[in-house]
Amino acid sequence: MKRSESTKRYWRSIHDLEQTPEFAAAQNNEFAGQIDQEWTTTSRRRFIQLMGASVALATATSCRWQEEKLLPLNDRNPGLTPGSPKNFSSILDSDGFAIGVKVTSFDGRPTKIEGNPLHPESLGATSTYAQAATLGLYDPDRSRTVIHHDGSNAVDKTAEDLAALTAGIAAKKGAGSGAVAVLAEPSASPSMLRLKESFMKAFPRATWVDYSPIARDNEVAGCKMAFALNARPYYRMSDAKIIVALDDDFLYEGPSALRLMREVTARRKPEAGWMNRIYSVEANYSLTGGFADHRLPLRSSEIGAFVTALRAKISGGTAPTLSAKGADDFLTAMASDLKAHKGECIITCGPGQPAAVHAHVHALNMELGASGKTVDYYEATANGSGLDAVKDLVGKMNAGTVTDLVILGGNPVYDMPADLAFGDALDKVANSVRLGQYLDETSVKCTWHVPQAHELELWTDGAAPEGTVSIGQPLINPLWDGLGTTEVLSQLLGESKNSMEIVKQTSGLGSTAWRKALHDGIVAGTGAKPYRVKLRELPKLATPMEGLELRFIPHFALRDGRYANLGWLQELPDPMTKLTWDNAALISFATAERLGVQHESMVELTVGGRKLEVAAYLMPGHADDSITLALGFGRTDGGHVAGLSDDDVEAVGFDSYKLRGSDAMDVAAVSLATTNKTYLLATTQDHFAMDDIGTKGSQSRLPNLVKENTLDGYEHDKTFAKHAADFWGDEKTLWQELDSQKDTNHKWGMAIDLSSCTGCGSCTVACQSENNISVVGKEQVLRGREMAWIRLDRYFLGDAENPKAINQPINCAHCELAPCESVCPVAATTHSEEGLNDMVYNRCIGTRYCANNCPYKVRRFNYFNFNKDAAQPGNEVLKMAANPDVTVRDRGVMEKCTFCVQRIERVRIDSRNEDRDTFIEDGAIKVACEQACPADAIVFGDLLDDDSRVLKAQSQDRAYKLLVELNNKPRISFLARIRNPHPSLEAHEAAEEVVSHG
């Protein structure tokens, strides 16, 4: 390498010329600047890390390209085609349980989450928040370094400092009782359970508390009370003909929601044989309530009385009277249905109900023969330690007993019951270590913050509620050198294993089984056996609380607040309120009138002396004397989306935790005071209170837009949906249809079954993720500029006291005679040969004429550059979340649903490569909304294929086209919604009409 001086003519620097020793050394170092010091002085710890990483990389082609970035990829890895996406099975956490997912990865960059059809709780579907996991992964607000809070200074630290810290704690194995404490989140992960056990063995005097503000512990407590078992109910709704939900949004909440939605909706199609009948009794208008055939608004605290009354109706006894109007008829009908369908019915109870109510519901299910048939009981995992344990820990912290507190995930300073004042107690802990993804409310109060790796950056394992174990593969190396909870525990135990070693050790699988488990996303045969249960004597249920009640519910998208920094979820309209970027006190019309509360006025709620001002939202169908308030908002250190006080980013929504006390975590007695202040709530549909003209106008047209009928009505007139008010059959067009409108090889179309659609919004987020749809923010939503390509129109039907609800997903219908196409002056939206209404972004000049002329109003305009944030320094990582197959739209252009044209093209390319010419198998193309839909309500396919599911669906009696009278010939058919009401309750409702929409 070294050249002799005499030959030197050109030199690079003074050092070069002078041949200083530094230069000579640098010159000899082949990888100057690329390889840090650690390579040359490898510690044992580093060696193990590197070896672990090597093994991980060797096994998981899912990870990024090789770590050594300095070498070009001369030989392509087998099976890896740059630009061609790969799918890997992994898992995501849902209330401590695992949901199996398939993650799409482009060149080692995960971009899209889809459900894993093999996983028992996914069945191929995904929830809204699972869809948003990629956004969470690339959230630029995630913390990137270890931070030590020394007094008021925050100092960045290195991995070595962290190692020293954990070693310090590890050295306190024998410290006094409770000196070392761990606060973790409930988890069913086998590795977490194993490490927790090891930890408690190694630190016999330590305290370990599992806490989640939305843990479903009442379920477990109810089973303990009823059966003396540590169990949770497990519903099987495929065979349930009568389903009763008591304050339970089972279609959306809970680790089994996706499966339950699939099972329930499969039985909502009249063509498929018998239809189930769903009753819902609840305070708030939930997704399940909207989907139910009958719904009774009832205060949450009266559910116990309702259960007692139901038991009395079924097996005799005295029934308490209920406050809700029509409760008796409702009960009678329900009881007669249940008695007529013993063994084919199911009663579910919401996690917000006290244990005793759960126990009585279990007893009812036993009586009705549901146990063992539609309800099973499995060993409860992912349990919280209970509030007593939490209080005990806080007491010890306050007493100064706890010297070292390790907080693994969660966000206790933010989400602990307010009366415990966890933040103050934390100040008294000398050494508090927080593993968290964000430098959030908890981390800023701890002495140490450790960046936590995202679920997609780690090897994880988890279990479904019935025990099936899954292994979660990482899709990418930790972006910010974060650690997993298991890795931190491992460090505390002095093992310092990486997540893969930990998971592999727990699984105990051989290499073949391991590979199969990774491929399938589940470890076969790990499902548990249900318990055989025996009912114990149950105490009588307490009498309901008097006065105004306040219910705390997890927010449908942000959950307990953990997803608050994800714009997709903030902007996802609530299924029933259509509210974005806020939570609000949901209150019934009658109660609001009684208390003098106006819609969008600020009200002051007081619970146990704690006060909170929050905006009121008058919610149709809400139970009287009850207020519902979602958790998860009002973050002060959530991030630039959720709220960040350090950067003057105002918190989104209202922090309900400030009202939540440890004595009343689910339902609390509350008093309400009105204020003069008003507040703007950003809903994506106009509010219920509309002028008379608008109300009448929608009233008269809605029966033509969202078609529905009872099962009897449908049997009577199967083609009722095809009758259109202003339609006289196909009209002649004034101009000859263009050749491009005559389909060549394929004719893409879609069918959406309103009978199955529950309105959960998974399609909306899936579409957002797949198609790089921008988040616009509250101000823009208020201006009506939200960008969703597929939206859910929710209409109420009947009186405001207890209306029915219906959802209608609306996306571009790809009309054959598209009104948008003819009006564009520059031909930026045109028809493809296969009938797609294509949008050519770089031809669009943004006249917005197309949007005006679209009768479905599915076109979305980029009023600003909504992707500006990604260009900010430090935010570039956001760009990685984008789907590289889809253009990111600039400002000034129109956009709308493309029928996932990029997915069509991928399949077409594959098809051509495999010499199948133009043939595309039905179902080979799954558009993003269809793929995510837990209700299987959306079918996409080729209308020229005689055997396609979409053609079959479109040929059904129930199929109708929206606004058929305009002769646009939309390619989407809706299948009318069929309800299955109880005959005795139907009479009341026959006269009802659609009165309004919200």
Binding-site ranges for another protein (CB under 8 A): 685-686, 691, 693-694, 697-698, 700-702, 705, 725-726, 780, 783-786, 791, 793-795, 808, 810, 819, 822-827, 843-849, 851-853, 855-857, 859-865, 890-894, 963, 966, 997
Shortest Cβ distance from residue 427 to another protein (Å)?
Answer: 45
Tell me how far, at minimum, the Cβ of 615 lies from another protein, in Å.
19
- Please report how close the Cβ of residue 932 comes to another protein at its closest, in angstroms: 21
Taking the least distance from each CB to another protein, the nearer of 329 and 686 is 686
Pick 437 or 996: Cβ nearer another protein: 996
Nearest residue (CB) to another protein, 647 versus 779: 779
Task: Provide the minimum distance between the beta carbon of 703 and another protein in the complex, in angstroms, as a whole number.
Answer: 11
DSSP string, 388-444: HHHHHHHHHHHHT---EEEEESS-HHHHS-GGG-HHHHHHT-SEEEEEESS--TTGG
Q: Could you tell me the smallest distance in angstroms from the CB atom of residue 853 to another protein? A: 5
Coil, strand, or helix at residue 709? strand
Paired with 234 in beta bridges are 376
Amino acid type, 480:
W
The CA angle 660-665-667, to the nearest 5 degrees, is 95
Nearer residue to another protein within complex by CB, 453 or 850: 850
- Report the residue number, 656 or 774, with the smaller CB distance to another protein: 774
Q: How far is the CB of 901 from another protein (least distance, A)?
A: 20
CB 432 within 8 A of CB 446: yes
Rank residues 307 and 994 by Cβ distance to another protein and give the closer one.
Answer: 994
Residue that is written with structure tokens 């992994």 in the block: 90
Min dist CB 793 to another protein, Å, is 4
Q: How far is the CB of 458 from another protein (least distance, A)?
A: 40
The one-letter amino acid at 591:
T
User: How far is Cα 410 from Cα 885, in angstroms, rounded to an integer?
Assistant: 35
Could you count the other beta carbons within 10 Å of the beta carbon of residue 516?
14
Q: Minimum distance from CB of 741 to another protein (Å)? A: 13
Minimum distance from residue 985 beta carbon to another protein (Å): 27
Closer to another protein by CB, 315 or 852: give it. Answer: 852
Instruction: Yes or no: say if 246 and 294 are a contact pair by the CB < 8 Å rule.
Output: no
Q: Between 431 and 967, whose beta carbon lies closer to another protein?
A: 967
The DSSP 8-state label assigned to residue 39 in this structure reads G
Tokens of 978: 């069929």
The token duo for 475 is 């899709």
Task: Between 328 and 686, name the residue whose CB sits nearer to another protein.
Answer: 686
Closest to another protein by CB, 241 vs 860, is 860
Among residues 144, 281, 64, 49, the alpha carbon closest in space to that of 874 is found at 144
Give the separation between CA 567 and CA 114, rounded to whole angstroms: 19
CB 785 → another protein: shortest distance, Å? Answer: 6
Q: Please say which residue, 61 or 847, places its beta carbon nearer to another protein.
A: 847
DSSP string, 626-646: EEEEESS---SEEETTTEEGG
Q: Cβ neighbours of residue 483 under 8 Å, at least 6 residues apart?
A: 435, 450, 451, 452, 453, 491
Report DSSP letters for 340-369, one per residue: HTTTSEEEEE-TTS-HHHHHHHHHHHHHTT
What is the Cα–Cα distance from 156 to 727, expressed in whole angstroms? 70
Give the β-pairing of 345-349 and 242-246. parallel
User: What sign has the CA pseudo-torsion 502, 503, 509, 514?
Assistant: negative
Min dist CB 961 to another protein, Å, is: 13
Residue 286 or 862: the one with the smaller Cβ distance to another protein is 862
Least separation in angstroms between CB 893 and another protein: 6
Judged by CB, which is closer to another protein: 231, or 787?
A: 787
Provide the minimum distance between the beta carbon of 563 and another protein in the complex, in angstroms, as a whole number: 26
875 CB-near residues (< 8 Å, 6+ apart): 140, 869
Instruction: Indicate the residue among 527 and 855 with the shorter CB distance to another protein.
Output: 855
- Least distance (Å) between residue 931 CB and another protein: 24
Please state the three-class secondary structure of 741-778 as a single string: HCCCCCCEEEEEECCCCCCCCHHHHHHHHHCCCCCCCH
Q: Which amino acid is at 180?
A: V
3-state secondary structure of 676: strand
The distance of closest approach from Cβ of residue 697 to another protein in the complex, given in angstroms and rounded to an integer, is 4
Element of type H or E holding 988: helix 983-990
How many whole angstroms separate alpha carbon 238 and alpha carbon 259?
10
Nearer Cβ to another protein (527/703) = 703
Residues 6+ apart with CB under 8 A from 532: 372
* Least distance CB 574 / another protein (angstroms): 14
Q: Are 837 and 831 in contact (CB under 8 A)?
A: yes
Euclidean distance between CA atoms 456 and 110, whole angstroms: 8
| Residue whose CB is less far from another protein, 414 or 688 | 688
Cβ proximity of 428 and 625 under 8 Å: no
- Residue with smaller CB distance to another protein, 167 or 827: 827
Please identify, using beta-carbon distances, which residue of 907 and 966 lies nearer to another protein: 966
Q: In which residue are the tokens 């099936």 written?
A: 468
Sort strands 469-472 and 460-463 into parallel, antiparallel or unpaired. antiparallel
Residue 258 CA to residue 248 CA, distance in Å, equals 14
Give the shortest CB-680-to-another protein separation in angstroms.
12
Q: Do residues 421 and 129 lie in contact, with contact meaning Cβ atoms separated by under 8 Å?
A: no
The Cα-based distances of 675 to 125, 612, 613, 713 in angstroms read 44, 12, 9, 48
